[in-house]
Amino acid sequence: MHETKSTCCYCGTGCGVLIEHDGSRIAGVRGDPAHPANFGRLCSKGATLHLTAGRQGRLLHPELRTSREAERRRLGWDAALDHAARRFASIIQAHGPDAVAFYVSGQLLTEDYYVFNKLARALVGTNNIDSNSRLCMSSAVAAYTQTLGADAPPCSYEDLGLADCLLVAGSNTAWAHPVLFRRIEDARRANPDMKLIVVDPRRTDTAASADLHLAILPGTDVTLYGALLHVLLWEDLIDRDFIRAHTEGFDGVRDAVRELTPAAAASVCGVPAEDIVTAARWFGSAKAALSLWCQGLNQSTHGTANGAALIHLHLATGQIGRAGCGPFSLTGQPNAMGGRETGSMATLLPGHRSPANPAHREELARYWNVPSLPEAPGRTAVELFEALRTGRIKAVWIACT
């Protein structure tokens, strides 16, 4: 038997796995003890990865059907690739490059993401490339960009073991990121004084393990974080030197939460005012405060505001840019962040650049050795599939989703 290193393709933790195989058949998997995400641990999903690799129920060859009513027929690889290339080329020739699109996924490797992006923009000439990460992470992207200037989470898993206060919001980490939750448990055992605050309308397993569970009413996140900031200001738990040196617009934020007292927020959020005060004091007095959030904040009509309001707590207290602290958004897929970094979304270019910025397009065109990159805005995921429905997009290449 041989072992090959790989990465679990399920949740956003990105656990390292060792695949046991004989060169043609996968016999099993185990956690990679040397991997910095999981150090050998696997959850039940990761431990059964090998069961998804059996031949039963899997496509082993390309299949083609010429109409929706037709049966699929087996095709050779060369014939399949030639057919796909001809159909894309004919549509582009007849209707222009924006008549085709690429819909990719957080399951892709970073290198694959990059190649798809280059194919769409440099060869085909369209910004119609978007990821299913749009449906879960775009609000976090916008929150980071609005508050920090770039979509670049300033934290790592190592910070879990260095934090004195951990705020988990909109995430049942115990179920959604099980191995990461084991690291939280390790950190609490190593530091019994560490405070765990969970913000979630439901009493999940994660919430049940918290020192303080703020079971707010759905949709009241911004009010809660505004009240926490109010307490931090009122009790002078902010970092004035950090605010002065590294932030802008603080006076406006302060004015916005001036009347948002714990009592006022309690009537909106449905949690006791004294619990809001306790959470603010724990967060503001911690040597290092770290926050984790996931889809409970992101997938909302005001998801960007949720994320920005949480990040404001870190900026007001200087709980950012140091070991053990910072705002840390968890992804639902193992490489949603890789897609954002490679620019594989309609509103992004590689390296956190923007297709709306002429200088960014020119810089990347030089790097890719093409005359120019497309200027017309690309369609985001929902827009893309609406354009498919109406016939404005004639063909879509879907990868790993």
Domain borders along the chain are 2-53, 96-133+359-398, 136-329
CATH topology of domain 2-53: Phosphorylase Kinase; domain 1 (3.30.200)
> CA-CA distances (angstroms) from residue 125 to 102, 322, 365?
12, 42, 11
| C-alpha Rg value of the chain to the nearest Å | 24
Which superfamily is assigned to 136-329 in CATH?
Answer: Dimethylsulfoxide Reductase, domain 2 (3.40.228.10)
Cβ atoms 263, 276 nearer than 8 A: no
Distances (CA, A) of 84 to 64, 81, 91, 195, 394: 10, 5, 11, 55, 13
Residue 396 CA to residue 386 CA, distance in Å, equals 12
CA distance 161 to 151: 24
Torsion of CA 369, 370, 376, 380, to 10 degrees: -50
Sign of the Cα torsion 217, 219, 220, 222 reads positive
CA dist., res. 42 & res. 15, Å (int): 7
pLDDT in tens, the chain (401 residues): 899 999 998 999 999 999 999 988 899 999 999 999 999 999 999 999 998 887 777 888 999 998 889 999 999 999 999 999 999 999 999 999 999 999 999 989 999 999 999 999 999 999 999 999 888 888 999 999 999 998 889 999 999 999 999 999 999 999 999 999 999 999 999 999 999 999 999 999 999 999 999 999 999 999 999 999 999 999 999 999 999 999 999 999 999 999 999 999 999 999 999 999 999 999 999 999 999 999 999 999 999 999 999 999 999 999 999 999 999 999 988 888 888 899 999 999 999 899 999 999 999 999 999 999 999 999 999 999 999 999 999 999 999 98
Alpha-carbon gap, residue 187 to 198, rounded angstroms: 16
What's at 94, amino acid-wise?
A
β 165-169/289-293 pair status: parallel
